[in-house]
Amino acid sequence: MISVINIDKSFDSKKVLNNLKQDFALAEVHGIIGLNGAGKTTFFNILSSFMKPDSGEILHSQKKISRNDVAYLETINFFYSKITGKEYLEIFPLTNQQFELEKINNLLKLPLNEIIETYSTGMKKKLALLSIIKQDKPIYIFDEPFNGLDLETNMALEIIIKNLRTKNKTVFISSHILSPLISVCDEIHLFQQGTFIKNYSKDNFSNIEKELFGDFNKSASEIISNSI
């Protein structure tokens, strides 16, 4: 179990995470949904130990979570200038013994011997993804992984996530598009104003859209048809 216990986090005077509590089952894929600014990325930053909470803690199998437990694919990926894709990947330790760069790159088609400045946004995302999956960790976090990826890589990413689950890894994914989450997640958690307000199990996924967007769809279509 991964237990999030009373996490608080503020930036200046703005409270971003508010007494956050939630238990996550291990070896499952957890989708995190919520509006922009709800605090999802801050939660991921704390979960990955990239950031310290003001108070509270996160336990992984009863022990305080460590940075070594987590591989984290950030929303925006930063790379060092003038290094090639291959050099970037070599910085990260190869702990996933099954990882074969050549084979996986046949699928992703990255020009690994070129400097990263020549890559498109989607290519940079793929490179960051490779750096994550070459590491064997019990927990994987993917923050908005589907942004900027082409259709084929989106499919490949879904297969990668399903593969991680078969290896008993715990996966967290956030996305603003529901369909890939519904396809890969075991549970989806609704995040609002710095806290989890509802959990949906696989059987209830069909209710998510209705509950979240039912009223919004009605009022939005009314506003849009009257104003555009």
Partner 1 sequence: MKWILIKVRLHQVRRQLEEIGIGYAFILLAFLAALIFYIYLAYAQKEKSLFLFIISILSILAIQISRSDKEFIFNQIDCPVQNIFTEYLIFTIPITLPSLFTSHWFYFPLIILAFYFIANIKSSLKQRTVFPSLSKIISPHDFEWLSGLRKTYAGIFIFLLLACITCWIRILPLIFLWFITTSVASFYQECESLPILFASSISPKNLLKKKMVKSIQFLIMTFIPILIMNSIFNPEFILINIIFLLIQITILIFAILLKYTTYTPNESMKGNTLLLSMVSIGSLIPFVLPIPLIMCFRNYNKAIKNLNFYFND
Nearest Cα residue to 41 out of 76, 67, 8, 13 = 76
User: Does 205 help bind partner 1 (rule: CB under 8 A)?
Assistant: no
* Smallest gap from residue 95 Cβ to partner 1 (A): 11
* Smallest gap from residue 183 Cβ to partner 1 (A): 27
Q: For tokens 């990668």, name the residue.
A: 160
**61-80 binders of partner 1 (CB under 8 A):** 66-67, 72, 74, 77-80
**89-148 binders of partner 1 (CB under 8 A):** 90-93, 113-115, 117-118, 131
User: Does 88 help bind partner 1 (rule: CB under 8 A)?
Assistant: yes
Print the binding letters for residues 157-196 with partner 1: x by CB under 8 A, - otherwise: ----------------------------------------
SS3 state at 189: strand
* Smallest gap from residue 206 Cβ to partner 1 (A): 37
- Give percent helix, percent strand, percent coil of the chain, each to the nearest 5: 40, 30, 30
* Smallest gap from residue 108 Cβ to partner 1 (A): 18
| Site size toward partner 1, by CB under 8 A | 29
Q: Is the separation of the CB atoms in 188 and 208 below 8 Å?
A: yes
Two tokens, residue 113: 């011997």
Rounded to whole angstroms, the Cα distance separating 30 from 184 reads 9
* Smallest gap from residue 101 Cβ to partner 1 (A): 13
Angle at 2 between CA 36 and CA 198, to 5 degrees: 45
User: Does 12 help bind partner 1 (rule: CB under 8 A)?
Assistant: no
Which of 144/190 has CB closer to partner 1? 144
Query: What's the gap between Cα 84 and its chain centre?
Result: 25
Q: In what order do the strands lie in the sheet with 170-174?
A: 70-73, 139-143, 170-174, 29-33, 187-192, 195-201
- Residues near partner 1 (CB under 8 A): 49-52, 66-67, 72, 74, 77-84, 86-88, 90-93, 113-115, 117-118, 131
